[in-house]
């Protein structure tokens, strides 16, 4: 039974989308907008809420949240 549980856990982990930020987050001093650049594409809509997490001491911590203002559309072949 433990092996079945391990397989389910592994399957859930593989389904989670992880996208990394390549450049430091830049903040506009006049507002609270941040600009980030991702290492891989992420499917999202304008206005959708997102969360920024960081791994600290073996645990994921919420470090920021917000909504998508704009982005780049990528064509799929």
* pLDDT score of 14: 44
Section 26-32 average pLDDT: 67
Q: Determine the average pLDDT of the residues in 3-24.
A: 58
pLDDT digits (tens, 9 = 90+) for 30-47: 667 777 777 777 788 888
- pLDDT value at residue 15: 46
Which pTM does this prediction carry? 0.51
Q: Does residue 18 carry a pLDDT above 70?
A: no
pLDDT of residue 49: 87
3-class SS letters over 6-75:
HHHHHHHHHHCCCCCECCCCEECCCCCCEECCECCCCCCCCCCEEEEEEEECCEEEEEEEEECCCCCCCC
């Amino acid at each position: 039974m433990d092996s079945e549980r391990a397989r389910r856990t592994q399957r859930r982990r593989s389904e989670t989308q992880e996208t990394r930020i390549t450049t430091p987050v830049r903040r506009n001093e006049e507002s609270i907008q941040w600009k980030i650049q991702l290492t891989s594409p992420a499917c999202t809509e304008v206005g959708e809420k997102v969360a920024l997490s960081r791994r600290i001491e073996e645990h994921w911590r919420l470090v920021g949240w917000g909504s998508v203002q704009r982005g780049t559309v990528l064509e799929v072949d």
